[in-house]
């Protein structure tokens, strides 16, 4: 039924700081709830990528607080700006990888994804929004820069007035002159996963008594995991826990790491642990992989999946290349070298993988922050990584610990850890980084805590496909003892600053690969803390999170 509405033009004034970060615009939920804040940013997106006349968009989010109200606002604004159709997930839900899949499968003119990813939700939590291009991936720097410029000069936004659209039932309705098509948020994604993996082999794995626990963390992946793991693959009921998406993620922090998924870690390291454990984050694009008494770092997971992707039908012909974010360990580079394919190190942010994927230069991509994905979509994809791991375990008939031991024996082990200093004073953190940059030229040849610096720089990147360049992407300090440390300020927080310190040391000898990672990295950690002066400058003697 058509709802007749009149488009209105509403005067507005710019808000400071509406600059998209590595994953769109993020701020406290209450900031987004201010009158005109969301509207200003959405209109700036439409002004930048428009005109919308005759275009089709994809829209959905992770279900966090304010998701439902924001979607109704965006629908009314899309109608007022002339869009022909908007595909929206039932109840306003779409995981980030599923949104990318819908954009690509239905060939829409891009879309808007509402999420602050792994950040906490609720009225006192965080909210976010980003624009994805028609290829399905996050907008590149050229577009996000133009959106930011537009937010600084916006004077009006357009919106139609009227009742909410019923998003609880699949089907079509008309809002003004625009069709709103409510779609099953799981169907297109589940079909895509079935085309990539050997579901029959995974079904046999579960039928033979293989036990698994998947913690959806009361986030958006719950319905996807239950449909695929329990309904389609035959995992026993209850395999997926915390499966219902909640606006505040059940009061938890939807970041799949050993700290915030502590219950899963406890179960996986208990006497009666399942064979395999996994978790995903707020919007479904990150993952954590755990075997029985075996934690797999995201860097190692990327390397293992790249080395074994050929075991899944969708990658049987091999991979074109591997890309990792610069702070991610160099384990994936060793796999690429052995396979004879290209390896790339990019700045942090999934958008930097997009041109490489579109050009066919890489097939598998990953970030140390628990994001892994492939050319099937243009986002990282938590459940995809879990399914590829299941496919590998089914094909190799090995435990997670066995797969890791085999991998390290073949490629060597890159001991790796990330130390996060959260909500530190922003000015102090920026001064710390600036002082390090100023000293980079003097570091090579110096000794710090018994380690010798061989190279030090501030990472810059020139895209090999489109030639675009970005600078100041993280400070790298390389030591002669097959080790390195990386420091960068995170672009995903909303309060203060988060200093991330990445520690890495390579061990090729299998007899020395069983050490506790924090112990193996203690000398590297001490060297970085000493040189950066973290305790003196930030008042922190220990990180808030180690992963």
Cα separations in angstroms, 168 against 48, 89, 100, 330: 31, 9, 21, 46
Residue 22 has pLDDT above 90, yes or no: no
pLDDT tens readout for residues 48-90? 999 999 999 999 999 999 999 999 999 999 999 999 999 999 9
Question: Is 117 known to be catalytic?
Answer: yes
Active-site residue (options: 115, 117, 375, 525): 117
Residue 192: the pLDDT is: 98
CATH 1.10.10.10 fits 189-411, yes or no: no
Residue 298 pLDDT grade (very low, low, confident, very high; cuts 50, 70, 90): very high
Closest CA to 364 of 392, 396, 324, 410: 324
Q: What is the mean pLDDT of residues 34-41?
A: 98
pLDDT tens readout for residues 447-490? 999 999 999 999 999 999 999 999 999 999 999 989 999 999 98
Residue 5: the pLDDT is: 72
The three-class DSSP label of residue 543 is coil
Which H or E element spans position 409?
Answer: helix 400-411
The length of the chain, given as a count of residues: 547
Q: What is the mean pLDDT of residues 356-361?
A: 97
Burial class (CB in 10 A: 0-12, 13-18, 19+), 131: buried
Residue 493: the pLDDT is: 54
Residue 511 pLDDT grade (very low, low, confident, very high; cuts 50, 70, 90): very high
- How many Cα atoms occupy the beta-carbon half-sphere of 442 within 13 Å? 7
Closest CA to 400 of 274, 258, 225, 236: 274
Residue 1 has pLDDT above 50, yes or no: no
Residue 2 pLDDT grade (very low, low, confident, very high; cuts 50, 70, 90): very low
User: What pTM was estimated for this model as a whole?
Assistant: 0.94
CA distance 156 to 171: 32
Residue 546 has pLDDT above 90, yes or no: no
Instruction: Look at the domain 2-184 and name its fold.
Output: Alpha-D-Glucose-1,6-Bisphosphate; Chain A, domain 3 (3.40.120)
What is the DSSP code string of 214-234?
EE-TTSTHHHHHIIIIIIIT-
Residue 545 has pLDDT above 90, yes or no: no
Query: Quick count: other Cβ atoms within 10 Å of Cβ 237?
Result: 8
Residue 287 has pLDDT above 60, yes or no: yes
Same fold, 2-184 and 413-546: no
Domain ranges of the chain: 2-184, 189-411, 413-546
Residue 213: the pLDDT is: 98
Contact of 452 with 480, CB cutoff 8 Å: yes
Residue 491 pLDDT grade (very low, low, confident, very high; cuts 50, 70, 90): low
Query: Quick count: other Cβ atoms within 10 Å of Cβ 91?
Result: 18
Contact of 203 with 233, CB cutoff 8 Å: yes
Contact of 503 with 417, CB cutoff 8 Å: yes
CA distance 251 to 269: 24
Architecture per CATH, domain 413-546, reads as 2-Layer Sandwich (3.30)
CA distance 487 to 113: 29
Least confident of 164-178, 224-238, 438-452, 485-499: 485-499
Do β-strands 447-448 and 413-424 pair in parallel, antiparallel, or remain unpaired?
unpaired
The rounded mean pLDDT for the chain is: 95
Residue 496: the pLDDT is: 80
Phi, psi torsion values for 405, nearest 5 degrees: -60, -40
pLDDT tens readout for residues 217-268? 999 999 999 999 999 999 999 999 999 999 999 999 999 999 899 999 999 9
Residue 144 has pLDDT above 90, yes or no: yes
Per-residue tokens: 52 = 């919308």
Contact of 485 with 329, CB cutoff 8 Å: no
């Amino acid at each position: 039924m058509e709802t007749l509405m009149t488009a209105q033009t509403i005067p507005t004034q710019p808000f400071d700081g509406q600059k998209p970060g590595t994953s769109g615009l993020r701020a406290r939920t209450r900031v987004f709830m201010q009158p005109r804040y969301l509207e200003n940013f959405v209109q700036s997106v439409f002004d930048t990528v428009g005109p919308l006349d005759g275009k089709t968009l994809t829209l959905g989010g992770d279900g966090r607080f304010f998701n439902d109200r924001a979607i109704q606002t965006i629908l009314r604004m899309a109608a007022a700006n002339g869009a022909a159709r908007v595909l929206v997930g039932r109840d306003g839900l779409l995981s980030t990888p599923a949104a990318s899949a819908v954009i690509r499968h239905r060939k829409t003119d891009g879309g808007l994804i509402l999420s602050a990813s792994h950040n906490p939700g609720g009225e006192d939590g965080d909210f976010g929004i980003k624009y994805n291009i028609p290829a399905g991936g996050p907008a590149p720097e050229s577009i996000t820069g133009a959106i930011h410029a537009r937010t600084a000069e916006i004077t009006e936004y357009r919106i139609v007035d009227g009742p909410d659209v019923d998003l609880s039932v699949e089907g079509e309705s008309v809002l003004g002159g625009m069709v709103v098509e409510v779609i099953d948020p799981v169907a297109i994604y589940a079909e895509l996963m079935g085309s990539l993996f050997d579901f029959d082999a995974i079904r046999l794995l579960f039928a033979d008594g293989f036990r698994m626990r998947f913690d959806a963390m009361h986030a958006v992946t719950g319905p996807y995991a239950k449909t695929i793991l329990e309904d389609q693959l035959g995992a026993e009921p209850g395999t997926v826990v915390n499966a219902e998406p909640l606006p505040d993620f059940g009061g938890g922090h939807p970041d799949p790491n050993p700290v915030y998924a502590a219950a899963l870690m406890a179960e996986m390291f208990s006497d009666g642990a399942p064979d395999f454990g996994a978790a995903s984050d707020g919007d479904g694009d990150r993952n954590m992989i755990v075997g029985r008494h075996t934690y797999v770092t995201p860097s190692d997971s990327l390397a293992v999946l790249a080395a074994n992707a050929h075991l899944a039908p969708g990658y049987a012909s091999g991979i074109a290349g591997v890309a990792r974010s610069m702070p991610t360990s160099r384990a994936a580079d060793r796999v690429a070298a052995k396979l004879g394919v290209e390896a790339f190190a990019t700045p942090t942010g999934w958008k930097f993988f997009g041109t490489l994927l579109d050009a066919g230069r890489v097939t598998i991509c990953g970030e140390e922050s628990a994001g892994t994905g492939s050319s099937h979509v243009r986002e990282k994809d938590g459940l995809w990584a879990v399914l590829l791991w299941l496919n590998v375990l089914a094909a190799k008939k090995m435990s997670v610990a066995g797969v890791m031991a085999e991998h390290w024996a073949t490629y060597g082990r890159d001991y790796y850890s990330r130390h996060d200093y959260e909500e530190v004073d922003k000015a102090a953190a920026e001064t710390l980084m600036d002082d390090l940059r100023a000293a980079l030229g003097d570091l090579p040849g110096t000794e710090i805590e018994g380690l010798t610096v061989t190279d030090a720089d501030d990472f810059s990147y020139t895209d090999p496909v489109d030639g675009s360049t970005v600078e100041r992407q993280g400070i790298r300090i390389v030591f002669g003892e097959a080790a390195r440390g990386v420091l960068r300020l995170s672009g995903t927080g909303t309060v203060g600053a988060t200093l991330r310190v990445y520690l890495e040391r390579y061990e090729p000898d299998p007899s020395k690969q069983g050490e506790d990672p924090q112990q193996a990295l203690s000398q590297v950690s001490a060297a970085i803390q000493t040189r950066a002066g973290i305790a003196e400058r930030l008042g922190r003697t220990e990180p808030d999170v180690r992963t």
